[in-house]
Amino acid sequence: LLPAITFIFSRAGCDAAVAQCVSSGLWLTTEKEQRIIAQRVDEAGQDIPSDDLDVLGFWTWRDGLLRGFAAHHAGMLPTFKEVVEKLFVEGLVKAVFATETLALGVNMPARSVVLEKLDKFNGEAHVDITAGEYTQLTGRAGRRGIDVEGHAVVLWQPGTDPAAVAGLASRRTYPLNSSFRPTYNMSINLLAQFGRARAREILESSFAQFQADRSVVGLAKQVRSREESLAGYAKSMTCHLGDFTEYARLRRELSDAENITTRSTSRARKSLNEDSLARLMPGDVVDVPGGRAPGPAIVLSSDHSGREPRPAVLTLDNQLRRIGTEDLEGPIAPLTRIRIPKSFNAKVPKSRRDLASSARNALREHRPPAPGRSTDFGLGAVLPNQEKRITELRRALRAHPCHGCSEREDHARWSERWWKLRRETDALVRQIQGRTNTIAKTFDRVCDVLSAYGYLETGADGRQTISPDGQRLRRIYGEKDLLISQSLRLGAFDDLDAVEVATLATVLVYQAKREDRGLRPRMPSVSLETSVDVVIREWSALEDVEEQNKLPLTGEPELGLIWPMYKWAKGRHLQDVLSGTDLAAGDFVRWVKQVIDLLDQLAKIPGLDLRLARLCAEAISLIRRGVVAYSSVL
């Protein structure tokens, strides 16, 4: 069944599978094949500094290849992945353990494909793979012109349903869904080339709009059917004593008022809890009553930005976590307060132990919290008093003619059915209205944001033109295009040197995995601290504007690549750069390549300050070295 690709949805799992095969003493290659493999591998590593070979796991990787085994995942150096792909295609490597990235865009057919399991982690939860993903993975089985047939193997796991596997394998039609949406850069380029009216026509003819319009047909049929049912319900709830529709409205208003009164207490408590969390300051020692690690904890950083504050804390047993309202039983106030040293590093176990020890001493000595700290959290706005309203509604209900009807409850049941169906029908109508011209409407909202920021100017004749800042935005491509343009406009790059320019660019490019996001690191320089603050403040303001305009939110600036990039731009070895981080070498190279792409875009913007353009070019030369320069694939 060889050569075979085994898909394991974990980088660590792929590396562990190769290590297990090697430690078991397995050999799948002949002596001649080993000589060819050794030559190819040594050629790939000859230009890499010897100090970097160890941190890249070169010798372990080489040993596996000589035996005919290899891993293939995004955490590997691109050069290493190229070697694996070529050796596998030539039949020299017989077994590859890969993540699903191999199934996309890489030509590596095999005789057999093995799936470790039929579910994967998508960044938020473990979900079953779709029929399309199954076909994409197993489609590697069978080499054209070599194999008569291919083999797809699914490893049995507890709970595996053979019928579900058969359903995945037999499915031959897969939904094609568009993820297209107008971005700031796309919108301003469309405006520059075609004008607003023509740009809207182009977007309305997109595949995404076609899908949205097609889905409206079925909704319209549902609306017509429900309208017929509503007419029947209305007839059944007719009362000979009066207008039962009005009587039903009074009943609903009374029920709603009573529910509001019941919920007001829990809402008030949640508001108090959020207020108390927002008031916590670094160094406060608090007693967390619930959650995963109840007990005393030291506040490491405040959180005033989120809708629900979640300050970072260190528990007395040295665990880092965040606390929220779900961990509280009421407002939380400091028990005492300690000083957090400037040299404190949450990632260093000794620093955590020393800080926890200081907190224990403060609690034992009953030191008071900082003077002047108010524990009166307040309620904010006074909750509305519903009792008077409830009394008035009950009086009006009893005075209504339908209240004395002998069939009142039968009419009421029909009325409830009518109102429930009315709400559902109105929701369908809103869906239809929302899906009609959705792409063009999004484009209009994007244009409104661009106008508010001054990227579009409206002339006396009502025509929109691109401002000088808008012309700059046209040359910036990326997920955070408008934030990058705003950062340039606000001078975030002005007082930096080449090393710091490369470092700040990571804030606008890097996207950390959810589990890798931690506390804000100390910045390498004061000028970088100031620039990062400018970027973060502008992102927060932009997010508010996007929420108001109902647009997808720009991703939060990430600070996790600041120190690795700063060290790399300073000329440090790869081992020093990656030390203390969870970054794989391949991930680091990929992000550096993206930083280079951004810096290259900025350097080529017409009219950009010549000093900044020169610094961008200098920054590129500083970071395009070593393993980054040797890697030819992004």
Assign 252 to helix, strand or coil.
helix
CA distances from 476 to 60, 203, 615 (A): 41, 21, 17
- DSSP code string of 285-325: EEEE-SSSS-EEEEEEE---SSSS---EEEETTS-EEE--G
Which tokens is 495 given?
Answer: 């007082």
Beta-bridged to residue 152, according to DSSP, are: 113
| pLDDT number for residue 504 | 92
Q: Please spell the DSSP secondary structure of 188-220, one letter per residue.
A: HHHHHHHHHHHHHHHHHTSHHHHHHHHHHHHHH
Q: What is the DSSP letter of 527?
A: H
Mapping DSSP to helix (H, G, I), strand (E, B) and coil, where does residue 287 land? strand
Residue 187 has pLDDT above 80, yes or no: yes
Using pLDDT thresholds of 50, 70 and 90, give the confidence band for residue 523: confident
- 132 Cβ contact partners less than 8 Å away, ≥ 6 residues apart: 171, 174, 175
DSSP string computed for 532-557: HHHHHHHHHHHHHHHHHTT-PPPPPP
Neighbours of 359 (CB within 10 A): 22
pLDDT of 106 > 60? The answer is yes
Highest mean pLDDT among 243-252, 532-541, 622-631: 532-541
CB atoms within 10 A of CB 526: 9
Q: Is the pLDDT of residue 437 over 80?
A: no
Helix (H, G, I), strand (E, B) or coil at 311: coil
d(CA 41, CA 225): 68
Q: Token digits for 19?
A: 């290590």
Query: Which whole number is the average pLDDT over 111-139?
Result: 72
Can you tell me the mean pLDDT for 271-292? Answer: 83
Domains of the chain, with CATH numbers?
Answer: 4-170 (3.40.50.300), 280-364 (2.30.30), 475-630 (1.10.3380.30)
82-111 core/surface letters (b: 16 or more CB in 10 A; e: else): bbbbebbbeebbbbbbbbbebbeebebbbb
Alpha-carbon torsion angle 394, 395, 396, 402, nearest 10 = 80
Q: What is the pLDDT of the chain when averaged over all its residues?
A: 80
CB atoms within 10 A of CB 467: 17
Residue 389 buriedness (CB in 10 A; 0-12 / 13-18 / 19+)? middle
Output the pLDDT for position 538. Answer: 92
Cα–Cα distance for residue pair 398/321, rounded to 1 Å: 55
pTM of the model: 0.60
Q: Cα separation of 258 and 252, whole Å?
A: 10
> In whole angstroms, what is the distance from residue 139 CA to residue 112 CA?
10
Would you say residue 518 has pLDDT above 80? no
> HSE of 130 in the Cβ direction (CA atoms, 13 Å)?
9
Report the distance separating Cα 356 and Cα 623, nearest Å: 39
Q: What is the pLDDT of residues 567-578, one digit of tens each?
A: 989 888 887 888
> Which residue type occupies 315?
T
Measured CA to CA in angstroms, residue 358 lies from 348, 352, 362 at distances of: 16, 10, 6
pLDDT tens digits along 335-391: 888 888 888 888 888 888 889 999 899 888 888 887 766 555 544 444 456 667 778
- Kindly tell me if the per-residue pLDDT of 191 is higher than 50: yes
Q: Given this model, what pLDDT does residue 209 score?
A: 73
Torsion 126-128-130-135 (CA) sign:
positive
pLDDT digits (tens, 9 = 90+) for 468-511: 888 888 888 888 989 999 999 898 998 889 999 999 999 999 88
Amino acid at 150: G
What CA–CA distance (Å, rounded) separates 76 from 10? 13
Helix, coil or strand: residue 330 = coil
Q: In this structure, are strands 112-115 and 151-154 parallel, antiparallel, or unpaired?
A: parallel
Locate tokens 């890697």: which residue? 631
Residue 310 gets which letter from DSSP? -
The sign one gets for the Cα dihedral 390, 396, 399, 401 is negative
**Whole-number pLDDT of residue 372:** 63
Element (H, E) at 297: strand 295-301
Cβ-contact 19, 71 below 8 angstroms: no
Q: What is the mean pLDDT of residues 15-36?
A: 86
| 393-436 pLDDT per residue, tens | 788 878 888 888 888 888 888 888 888 888 888 887 777 666 66
* Amino acid at the residue 172: R
Q: For position 614, what pLDDT does the model report?
A: 92
Residue type at position 396: A
Helices (H), 90-124: none
